[in-house]
Structure 1
């Protein structure tokens, strides 16, 4: 029987890629971007599609994503997983892929995502069917997901004294990192100020448009293989040292505590598997769909005490030149956010550990944490990655 410790460093990420990102135009579709990212990632690993025997994927708008992906990419996998728990799915896929590889169910796994919300809007292609709302929320006509995150934000501010200025620090830091990333949607658009974030258009009190993630098109892909094979491939392997997952609710009205997520549980499991803790992490990639996410995840992942996240991010602490490198690609707030962001947190973590992040590279990075969030603080998945030097 596999135990968590059996998975530590037994598999490694050997290929990563993003598709074209941002505003790709009305003639581009989600599965095309997923395929573009997949081929780039497999080539980055020095492999071919014929080598892929594990497929983990999600294409927005496709009910049976992996069947479409397998057909589109010419893959007939031995192992397949397309369970959707929101934006954390891709870090969950990494965890599951490592377990499948260790169990001998596949040797080379491809994790892939594609989505085109901007292009869909240009095509006037609206989501089919009614929005998923339980009947006890529907009468209030919530504007999810922003309504749910605004609710948690307001509660955090009330309970812990978190300020609008502290929330704005998160957006300002993300934009500063994006100015170092030529692939970022906001690259070249200049820095943000605290006042600009606070005084931008209101979306759902207390959140303004600059507290909310981007809406972009994009895809991403990650290739995972056995650790013994990884050392012989094109790139330095990035090992999965620890992972953990948890989910606590589906609807924001059923969240056990509006100021605490089950990242407290997922991270404890990941730290235990890796034999590491928050002080060992060199670079941190968090799912920042809204500014409150970063603050709450810093607390729940153990980087500061509950209620101290606002003070922790103040004075540029998580911006370039600060004491903790967070969301070094610009995150969902300033790099990209095509509906679900988790795979991009993984990709950036790997880039940092490879030393391939260019102007935003964190010197000497050997251990990274990538954290995914799904729904409205509903599902949480944490992965700890390391270079060969971290083993």
Structure 2
């Protein structure tokens, strides 16, 4: 069975972020709703135009129902896919198909979390998997530490390579006023950081912040008449390979190998066409794994690739140009923020604006490298 996707027939028409860093006094749903209303305003649409809600909240199993109730609307369709940070890319794929079929007319995809001000932590004891629990791993850190250690063993990846990912992210964040972490960061800072789950140190971990994000998607023919230039969705694909990483056949390979190839084939683009990649960097190893699995470098070459400066400002492949989850924000789940940064680059509105961006890749990660999803965004010139 071949992938069928309505290339470019749906577009991001509006987008917004809100409460990045710390947003005291807000609940997660209040942050989500605020971002959603701002995204609609950005598109020049009204709440009454929305007939589909897509959401995945950290603290609400029935978030689709809560969101509809909070907004005071009766949507035709809700989707509360819970694959973690990759869920939002899957939301885009589902919304694009439903829009193209005429099943819905306007989709609002939103997320928000008050993880930082509510006192949440990145790592908690894992008890859900009975095979792992006796060893008292830290969830999700220990799973990523296993993948990191295996990559080091197989390919000679070093802590300096991992640190290069963090340094590149911080270099982008330093010139992004919205980024939460903008202080200088050095290689020595990274290598001397407190070890949490060997070989992952504090410097290899994403931020713990508040924040919300939302995008509005509608059919491209309608989006052309709205307030902002449309950002067509050229391709979107997902891959779910496991839940617990101990079930992985190879901890150095992720489902990004599948989702990326499918999304790029749908979009009809090659790596040379992609002007920027926005990757879910919950940990420094993520960026290395995804660069390899998405085909930007060979398997095992990710460490030297990032150490060369390729993903940093001035490099050949600008990655996480807002600072990523390591330095921009990470309110529990980061996937939606990757698509917003990609869309901002295409619209010419990014804090660290690159020149001539017509194609952007956004990639989401869920669970412990469990679920991967890739979206290819373009400008109207790509249609």
Q: TM-score range by the shorter chain?
A: over 0.9
Q: How far apart are the structure 2 equivalents of 1:137 and 1:6? A: 38
Indicate the residue corresponding to 2:107 in structure 1. 109
Q: Which of 367, 374, 377 is matched with 1:382 structurally?
A: 374
Q: Which of 180, 200, 203 is matched with 2:196 structurally?
A: 203
SS in 2 for 1:87: helix
Query: Given that residues 33 and 219 in structure 1 are in contact (C-alpha distance below 8 angstroms), is that contact kept between their aligned partners in structure 2?
Result: yes
Indicate the residue corresponding to 2:240 in structure 1. 247
Compare 139-148 and 69-78 and name the one that shifted more: 69-78
Indicate the residue corresponding to 1:156 in structure 2. 151
> Within the alignment, does 1:18 sit opposite 2:11 as a pair?
no
Indicate the residue corresponding to 2:357 in structure 1. 365
Query: Given that residues 366 and 390 in structure 1 are in contact (C-alpha distance below 8 angstroms), is that contact kept between their aligned partners in structure 2?
Result: yes
> Within the alignment, does 1:143 sit opposite 2:138 as a pair?
yes
Segments of structure 1 that go 5 or more residues without pairing to the other structure are none
User: How far off its partner does 1:132 sit?
Assistant: 4.8
Query: Given that residues 14 and 233 in structure 1 are in contact (C-alpha distance below 8 angstroms), is that contact kept between their aligned partners in structure 2?
Result: yes
Q: How far apart are the structure 1 equivalents of 2:338 and 2:73? A: 25
Indicate the residue corresponding to 1:335 in structure 2. 328
Indicate the residue corresponding to 2:76 in structure 1. 78
Q: How far apart are the structure 1 equivalents of 2:164 and 2:64? A: 39
Deviation readout 1:30-55 (Å, 9 max, x if unpaired):
00100110010010010010000011
Question: Structure 2 matches for 1:309-324, cutoff 5 A?
Answer: 309-324=302-317
SS in 2 for 1:369: strand
Q: Which of 276, 297, 304 is matched with 1:304 structurally?
A: 297
Query: Given that residues 49 and 74 in structure 1 are in contact (C-alpha distance below 8 angstroms), is that contact kept between their aligned partners in structure 2?
Result: no
Indicate the residue corresponding to 1:263 in structure 2. 256
User: How far off its partner does 1:136 sit?
Assistant: 0.7
Distance change (3 Å), C-alpha of 1:173 and 1:240: same
User: How far off its partner does 1:223 sit?
Assistant: 0.3
Q: How far apart are the structure 1 equivalents of 2:89 and 2:198? A: 31
Query: Given that residues 56 and 80 in structure 1 are in contact (C-alpha distance below 8 angstroms), is that contact kept between their aligned partners in structure 2?
Result: yes
Distance change (3 Å), C-alpha of 1:173 and 1:6: closer
User: How far off its partner does 1:282 sit?
Assistant: 0.3
Indicate the residue corresponding to 2:180 in structure 1. 185
User: How far off its partner does 1:243 sit?
Assistant: 1.1
Q: How far apart are the structure 2 equivalents of 1:225 and 1:134? A: 40
Q: How far apart are the structure 1 equivalents of 2:201 and 2:54? A: 35
Query: Given that residues 55 and 79 in structure 2 are in contact (C-alpha distance below 8 angstroms), is that contact kept between their aligned partners in structure 1?
Result: yes
SS in 1 for 2:236: strand
Deviation readout 1:147-175 (Å, 9 max, x if unpaired):
00011000000100011111100000000
SS in 2 for 1:110: strand
Q: How far apart are the structure 2 equivalents of 1:255 and 1:280? A: 31
Q: How far apart are the structure 2 equivalents of 1:71 and 1:107? A: 20
User: How far off its partner does 1:146 sit?
Assistant: 0.5
Query: Given that residues 22 and 209 in structure 2 are in contact (C-alpha distance below 8 angstroms), is that contact kept between their aligned partners in structure 1?
Result: yes
After the TM superposition, which parts of structure 1 deviate over 3 Å for at least 4 consecutive aligned residues?
Answer: 2-6
SS in 1 for 2:212: strand
User: How far off its partner does 1:3 sit?
Assistant: 6.9
Distance change (3 Å), C-alpha of 1:29 and 1:238: same
SS in 1 for 2:209: coil
Q: How far apart are the structure 1 equivalents of 2:315 and 2:129? A: 42
User: How far off its partner does 1:377 sit?
Assistant: 0.3
User: How far off its partner does 1:121 sit?
Assistant: 1.0
SS in 1 for 2:118: helix
Q: How far apart are the structure 2 equivalents of 1:243 and 1:110? A: 17
Q: How far apart are the structure 1 equivalents of 2:102 and 2:371? A: 27
SS in 2 for 1:117: coil
> Within the alignment, does 1:213 sit opposite 2:237 as a pair?
no
Give the count of matched residue pairs: 382
Q: Which of 64, 67, 72 is matched with 2:65 structurally?
A: 67
Q: How far apart are the structure 2 equivalents of 1:139 and 1:3? A: 43
Deviation readout 1:297-350 (Å, 9 max, x if unpaired):
000000001000001111322111111100000000000000100000011000
> Within the alignment, does 1:294 sit opposite 2:293 as a pair?
no
Q: How far apart are the structure 1 equivalents of 2:221 and 2:171? A: 39
Query: Given that residues 248 and 256 in structure 1 are in contact (C-alpha distance below 8 angstroms), is that contact kept between their aligned partners in structure 2?
Result: no
Q: How far apart are the structure 1 equivalents of 2:207 and 2:19? A: 15
Taking structure 2 as the reference length, the TM-score comes to 0.97
Q: How far apart are the structure 1 equivalents of 2:230 and 2:4? A: 19
Query: Given that residues 126 and 138 in structure 2 are in contact (C-alpha distance below 8 angstroms), is that contact kept between their aligned partners in structure 1?
Result: no
